[in-house]
Structure 1
Amino acid sequence: MAPTTSRALPLAATLLTGTVALYMALVAFGNITDFGTNQQFVRHVLAMDTTFRDEDLMWRAITTGWVQDTAYVAIIVWETVAALLLVYATWLWARRHHARARRLSTYGLVMVMLLFGAGFVAIGGEWFAMWQSEDWNGLDSATRVFLLSGVVLLVDHLPLRQDGSAT
């Protein structure tokens, strides 16, 4: 196999993992430095105050401020850990430590997918009926990030030969 072809897959894994790492780092940084903006998002989603206000669902609402803020801080911590894992995994991909890079990429990407899939799509979207809100609906964004992370996870797990090149 030609040298450029044999290095194409690890290069793709490096760049794509780095893309998600950059995204997550920017998200975490934004949430830390502009705490109030997405804090309001989390508060409104958990309070369900812009949903259809169906009596059969409203018992799910969380309106206690400190509980809402604790959930938001937990999200930021999760984002930060995922970003750090993905930054390190990107560095490992670039240094051709493919087995370690793949393992850490998997951890980081699954963390992102759990946050955006389980956290925002399932819990926020369905449990807290975020889909009903015209103002505080992050389902499209969450789905995009979930799918991007899934594609990168698949690329990172494409088979490599023992020398680290594509099979």
Structure 2
Amino acid sequence: MMIIRISKTAAVAATALFSTLVAFGNLTDYGTNFAFVQHVMSMDTIFPDAAIKYRAITNPALHNLFYFLIIAAESLTAILCWIGAYRLATNLRNDARSFNASKTLSIAGLTLGFLVWQVGFMSVGGEWFGMWMSKTWNGVPDAFRFFITILLVLVFVAQRDEELA
């Protein structure tokens, strides 16, 4: 059905827009968002008696490097999803084989987005650096919301499409 193909294209474009806005916000409000990375990596707001504080990284150069990598991954997610949405859109009326083949960059972008927020924020930030313990710098709920949304789009887009009627 055409509506399913349009829906998949729109879902990828919506993820592209989201990733673009996140990356843009991180670039244009570098200091505010950098403070988040700095506090999470420094582990300076987790429980005072936490036994995992030895994991803290307090080197500002490493904070900037990690933040740069986050912004780069968010930006690449956006770029892949924008190109992927364009490819889906230009193949809407084509045969199923062509439409399914046009999903490659969308799937790559969605997978990268999932990895950014699930691995980067939930696993590394949340668990390794104990971000969940911070009342001030806890991005776990947001990261969860982001990666679950992206994962649902990924599952939807990855489903094989059949020939149009």
TM-score by length of 2: 0.92
Equivalent residue letter for 1:155? F
Q: Structure 2 unaligned segments of length 5 or more: list them.
A: 92-97
Q: Partner residue of 1:107? A: 108
Matches within 5 A, 1:55-134: 56-96=51-91, 98-134=99-135
SS at match of 1:56: coil
- In structure 1, how many angstroms separate the alpha carbons of the residues matched to 2:109 and 2:56? 30
Q: Partner residue of 1:139? A: 140
Work out whether residues 100 and 161 of structure 2, in 8 Å CA contact, stay in contact via their aligned partners in 1: no
Work out whether residues 118 and 144 of structure 2, in 8 Å CA contact, stay in contact via their aligned partners in 1: yes
- In structure 2, how many angstroms separate the alpha carbons of the residues matched to 1:141 and 1:27? 12
Q: Partner residue of 1:3? A: none
Work out whether residues 131 and 137 of structure 1, in 8 Å CA contact, stay in contact via their aligned partners in 2: yes
Equivalent residue letter for 1:107? A
Q: Partner residue of 2:95? A: none
- In structure 1, how many angstroms separate the alpha carbons of the residues matched to 2:72 and 2:154? 21
Q: Partner residue of 1:18? A: 13
Relative distance call for 1:31 and 1:100 in structure 2 (3 A) is farther
Q: Deviations over 1:62-119 (max 9, x none)?
A: 0010101110011001111110000000111111152343111111011111110011
Work out whether residues 41 and 57 of structure 2, in 8 Å CA contact, stay in contact via their aligned partners in 1: yes
Work out whether residues 114 and 151 of structure 2, in 8 Å CA contact, stay in contact via their aligned partners in 1: yes
- In structure 1, how many angstroms separate the alpha carbons of the residues matched to 2:10 and 2:99? 13
Work out whether residues 89 and 100 of structure 1, in 8 Å CA contact, stay in contact via their aligned partners in 2: no
- In structure 2, how many angstroms separate the alpha carbons of the residues matched to 1:10 and 1:92? 12
- In structure 2, how many angstroms separate the alpha carbons of the residues matched to 1:62 and 1:88? 36
What's the C-alpha RMSD, in Å, of the aligned pairs? 1.3
- In structure 2, how many angstroms separate the alpha carbons of the residues matched to 1:142 and 1:44? 16
Relative distance call for 1:141 and 1:101 in structure 2 (3 A) is farther
- In structure 2, how many angstroms separate the alpha carbons of the residues matched to 1:68 and 1:111? 21
